[in-house]
A = this chain, B = another copy of it.
């Protein structure tokens, strides 16, 4: 069986990691879809799809997880064709894992099996909280896998995010 797990991964954090670890044993392959792949350099979406790809692959490699594919998914901004759009870009899958109600609804209406992954302390393990801590200079490293932190350091991600947040405050 193959699963599709979709998220924005801005950045990839421990909450995502735990979902992957929960699913990975029950699938032959896990297809990880990076949503809003075209976005970057904004306060809500600071990292490019390529950077997010590296965060995910570095983090999974550390856990010796290898049976996955990562696919960037550019938004098409028309929900009525979104499921077709995704299906044309990713390799075959049987089950969709998503925390997003809209995404769940669209795949469900299209006849797919949809599973809601368990949420791990959503207040803490959310992209929004990780980004807030980066901007405020608080501890964000404990919320993300080491591989993600290493990539963020490499690309000077905290500096970029702080700068973007200053623009937003104007």
Contacts and interface: CB of A to CB of B under 8 A. Distances in A.
Contacts of A77: 38
Copies in the complex: 6
Contacts of A164: 101-102, 105
Contact of A88 (B81, B89, B160): B81
A120 interface: no
Interface in A44-99: 48-50, 53-54, 57, 66, 69-72, 74, 76-81, 83-85, 87-92
B48 A80 contact: yes
Nearest to A122: B170
A92 B50 contact: yes
B38 A78 contact: yes
Interface residues of A, number: 44
17 contacts: A38-B78, A38-B80, A38-B88, A40-B80, A41-B105, A48-B88, A50-B90, A53-B90, A54-B91, A57-B69, A74-B74, A81-B85, A101-B163, A101-B167, A101-B170, A102-B167, A105-B164
Interface of A: 37-42, 48-50, 53-54, 57, 66, 69-72, 74, 76-81, 83-85, 87-92, 100-102, 105-106, 160, 163-164, 166-167, 170
